[in-house]
Amino acid sequence: MNDAPGKNRPQRIAAIDWVRGVAMLLMMIDHVSMAYNSRHISNDSAATWVAGTTLGGFEFFTRWISHICAPIFVFLAGTALAISIERKVAAGADTRELDISLIKRGAFIAILDPTVISIFSGGWRFQVLYAIGTAMICMVLVRRLPSLLILVLCAGWLLAGEWITTLMADPTDPTPSILSALLVSSYTSPDLLIKYPLVPWLVMMSLGWVFGRYLNSFIAGKARHDLVPVLLAWGGAGIIFFMLFRYFNGYGNMVLLREGASWIQWLHVSKYPPSLTFTALELGLTAWLLAVMIMIERRFGVRPYSPLLVFGQTAMFFYLVHRIVLEGTATWLGWRGFTDQLWMIYLVSVVMLVLIYFPCRWYRDFKSKNRHWWWTTYI
């Protein structure tokens, strides 16, 4: 990538696909553990956490490294939307048609959770696809706002979101009202899981949209600053906010407080729903990871068939295939929780990644040759 202002900058930044590919790798490990590990940790919520519970270091680390997956997925979805839609608007595309397309795409993605994923999981699921899809529909309105106003509104939610959430639901209650769970909280029962409420994940997608606008300016040679220092600064700000709110151990942690000073307790933050500390930490790490990947791309270039690139460019296809296989075998073949050995989880994850690489590579080539089929733009 040429970082000189306005000089032949690429229209697609491979580092973004690499970061998305990293998310898919870590997601595979977590979902294999979720399906097959009888000791899988999923109590990263005040509603499911029992005070005084001992968290094993390796088990916790295996769970924690996956925390960044959904923020990457949602943030970069907003980034990709901004890059694509704003380029089309600049080229004179009909805004009404763009809105209709965005609504259709969002509805299609959102409905995959209560249909495809729920069928193979054996219960109703409203998870990350629900959040991405409904947030996309909301972007019809958000995209019309200036970037500064979007940032102000997002900052407002990050600072006041916990207060608003507690007005609508008790964060320690695993089964609040369905409406509050769909919007701001979470719901956990054997038959119904609502883990990704709309509003906090819409905030992450909106932040990704603002970043996408900046990327468009950068690619066009209009940005005043290079990407790497901007990302390092944003990431550093996120980490500082995380450390401050985690240190004071009160508001900003969605009631999931530190019970000590160990590294596990520092990192054991509320993902369901996302607390300020969770959001600041994961988006901060995402910014740093993007900065590192951009530097690698500039130094070494891009290999078109590298696994990270292939997985990153087929993220939705990857997600659907691996969830169907894992949840289908766990639910319908009775393989759920068949082992308590962590090494087995990592071994199965590696095997799955090797096997899924070839369908993803095939689908990427198929998609590039069949853009006329509407569903290829959604998956």
Domain membership of residue 368 (yes or no) is no
What DSSP assignment string belongs to 302-332?
--TT-HHHHHHHTHHHHHHHHHHHHHHHHHH
Domain membership of residue 362 (yes or no) is no
- pLDDT bucket at 246, cuts 50 / 70 / 90: very high
Q: What's the whole-model pTM score? A: 0.95
217: left (phi over 0), alpha (psi -120 to 50) or beta: alpha
What average pLDDT does the segment 2-25 reach? Answer: 76
Q: At what angle do helices 69-90 and 276-300 cross, to 10 degrees?
A: 70
- C-alpha to C-alpha distance for 250 and 94, rounded to whole angstroms: 48
Tokens of 69: 């997956």
Handedness of CA 53, 56, 61, 63 (dihedral sign): negative
- C-alpha to C-alpha distance for 330 and 361, rounded to whole angstroms: 26
Domain membership of residue 263 (yes or no) is yes
Q: Would the pLDDT of 161 be above 80? A: yes
Total domains present in the chain: 1
User: In 10 A of CB 135, how many CB atoms?
Assistant: 29
Q: Which residues contact 189 (CB under 8 A, 6 or more apart)?
A: 174, 175
pLDDT digits (tens, 9 = 90+) for 258-287: 999 999 999 999 999 999 999 999 999 999
Residue-averaged pLDDT of the chain: 94
Yes or no: say if 270 and 253 are a contact pair by the CB < 8 Å rule.
yes
Yes or no: say if 198 and 182 are a contact pair by the CB < 8 Å rule.
yes
| Exposure string over 203-217, b if 16+ CB within 10 A, otherwise e | bbbbbbbbbbbbbbe
For residue 196, the 8-state DSSP code is: S
pLDDT digits (tens, 9 = 90+) for 299-330: 999 999 999 999 999 999 999 999 999 999 99
Domain membership of residue 372 (yes or no) is no
What average pLDDT does the segment 360-367 reach? Answer: 96
Tokens of 242: 């995380």
Domain membership of residue 51 (yes or no) is no
- C-alpha to C-alpha distance for 175 and 302, rounded to whole angstroms: 47
Domain membership of residue 40 (yes or no) is no
pLDDT at 372: 83
- pLDDT bucket at 11, cuts 50 / 70 / 90: low
Which residues are registered as beta bridge partners of 371?
A: none
- C-alpha to C-alpha distance for 242 and 67, rounded to whole angstroms: 14
For residue 68, the 8-state DSSP code is: G
CA-to-CA separations, 15 to 134, 222, 225, in angstroms, rounded = 26, 20, 18
- pLDDT bucket at 4, cuts 50 / 70 / 90: very low
- pLDDT bucket at 10, cuts 50 / 70 / 90: low
- C-alpha to C-alpha distance for 294 and 110, rounded to whole angstroms: 31
- pLDDT bucket at 219, cuts 50 / 70 / 90: confident
CA-to-CA separations, 228 to 15, 80, 148, 156, 273, in angstroms, rounded = 11, 18, 21, 26, 30
Residue 133 lies in domain = 14-20+67-333
Query: If we measure between CA atoms, which residue out of 262, 292, 253 comes closest to residue 172?
Result: 253
- Quick one: how far is CA 311 from the chain centroid? 14
Lowest mean pLDDT among 40-44, 76-80, 109-113, 176-180: 40-44
Domain membership of residue 277 (yes or no) is yes
Sheet order of strands, 124-126 included: 124-126, 192-194, 187-188
The residue assigned the tokens 């509050």 is 180
Yes or no: say if 187 and 175 are a contact pair by the CB < 8 Å rule.
yes
Helices (H), the chain: 14-36, 57-64, 69-90, 95-112, 118-121, 128-142, 147-168, 178-183, 198-219, 227-248, 263-267, 276-300, 307-313, 315-332, 342-369
pLDDT at 224: 78
Domain membership of residue 55 (yes or no) is no
